[in-house]
Amino acid sequence: MTAIVKRLFAVAVAICTTAPAHADGAAAPPPLTAFVHVNVVTMDDPQVLRDRTVLVKDGTIAAIGAALPVPAGAAVVDGGGSAYLSPGLADMHTHSTTKRDMAVYLANGVTTVLNMGDATPEFVGQVRPAIERGRLPGPRVVVAWRVDGSQRYGNVMVTSADEARALVRLAQTNGYAFIKVYNDLSKEAFDAFIDEGRLRHVPVVGHGVTSVGILKQLAAGQVLVAHTEEFLYTGFTQPPAAYPNQAPAVAEIPAMVRTVRATGVYVTADLNTYATIARQWGKPDVLTDMLAAPSTRYVSPDRRLDWRGEDYVRRHGSLDARLAFLGRFTKALADGGVPLVVGTDAPSIPGIAPGFSMHDDLDRLVAAGLTRRQALTAATRTPGEFVSKYVPGAQPAGVLRVGYRADMILSTGNPLDDLATLRKPLGVMAAGRWHARPELDALLDTVAKQYESVCGNTAH
């Protein structure tokens, strides 16, 4: 592989440094950039566009063509005819709330994240705008406010329709795009969230709510299911015997897929998350291995401590039958035309590191029988469609097309031939800001060193 990737402008690499500021305190706008001699995987066209020029202006894809003239003053990134440009990835289920996690995401080619709970006002009000202004490296951040009918999972509790309506207004004021509903919500509150959310354009996403049931939630207008396993709990007929060892009947899958498809809802394909829970279920040694895994260096010491406290390793029985069922269900959803988005639940599940787990989920989807194009679509095009559809004012993203956000990964190989090429990109562009491999490595190193300085090498 001989792709030559040149960067003609310098960048600050330390995570704590900010981009050069203008006199008014605003960060510099994204520069004009020309990718030349790149093969473009648009995720819009069935074929690869060979040896193209892609021009990026003001954070947006301005032109894609063969041998376009390079505008004066443009930074040039040369793919050497052999490198591939494909859309940045989206993790549509995270609990990451720090600027360091955002840098780790970016270094893994992730250019959109949907925070599904735990977002702090600092994260929403300071970190997110700093990324948007180019003052911190990171992906586009979309945030859901998680609500429940009890405090047993540590959520904000909502007990009445009035409170639900007020919370939707508060969510909107504070820049949350979605309400994430949780297990214990009352039907009255759920209905109010749907109704007020529709009025205010703050749609409902989330779990199955026990008092309502996932299929009724979808019929009412919930737009995203946070995990495929929600269908196990309140969708499929419960297996006759004990949790967790038994799975529902495979014969129920086709009808479920048709029902879900008819609602138009999006479903989070989080197979690797469930597989990771299944792997450590009742097995303390597995957690020890996870804490020593290379990607754990990029998980905050705080989260590693939480991982140690999780009780999956002390559970009894096995999730393997349910995991196998969810693999078949996910493949059936993909083949049945249900829009799937990749989500990881990072970093709240032990073993799930931000960014790195994105690639693990893609691999797991392919292992479950999805084509590489189906898996990559769930990480690029479909999340892009979802955000455009439900987040007012969001710039379109997720495919490489003129007018779309310039969120892209430059890789040595074609990801549709081998998804592993996305694990170590030659560079990542987020909203028109280019981060070449040396900068991505420096971002990762800085995060790891900061964590080591807090807890030493024995943190795992």
Site of interaction with Zn ion (CB under 5 A): 116, 345
- Which phi and psi (to 5°) does residue 439 adopt? -70, -40
- Asked if 108 contacts 358 with a C-beta cutoff of 8 angstroms, the reply is yes
Nearer to Zn ion, 65 or 154 (CB): 154
Nearer to Zn ion, 5 or 116 (CB): 116
Name residues whose C-beta falls within 8 Å of residue 305's C-beta, 6 or more positions apart in sequence. Answer: none
Q: Which amino acid is at 7?
A: R
Helix (H) or strand (E) holding 204: strand 204-206
Nearest to 333 by CA among 263, 276, 279: 263
Min CB(155)–Zn ion separation in Å: 11
Taking the CA atoms of residue 363, residue 257, residue 268 and residue 208 in that order, the dihedral angle to the nearest 10 degrees is -140
Nearer to Zn ion, 116 or 269 (CB): 116
Nearer to Zn ion, 184 or 345 (CB): 345
> By Cβ distance, which residue is nearest to Zn ion?
345
Nearer to Zn ion, 178 or 434 (CB): 178
CA 433 to mean position of chain CA atoms: 19
- Asked if 40 contacts 85 with a C-beta cutoff of 8 angstroms, the reply is yes
Q: Which amino acid is at 324?
A: A
- Asked if 282 contacts 299 with a C-beta cutoff of 8 angstroms, the reply is no
Count each helix (H run) and each strand (E run) in the chain, helices first.
16, 17
Min CB(444)–Zn ion separation in Å: 24
Nearest to 120 by CA among 80, 156, 148: 156
Q: Could you give the 3-state DSSP secondary structure of residue 348?
A: coil
- Asked if 66 contacts 36 with a C-beta cutoff of 8 angstroms, the reply is no
Pairing relation of β-strands 110-115 and 89-94?
parallel
Beta strands in 42-197 (DSSP E): 49-57, 60-65, 75-78, 84-87, 89-94, 110-115, 140-148, 156-157, 178-181
Q: Which amino acid is at 281?
A: W
Min CB(265)–Zn ion separation in Å: 17
Helix (H) or strand (E) holding 365: helix 356-367
Nearer to Zn ion, 86 or 330 (CB): 330
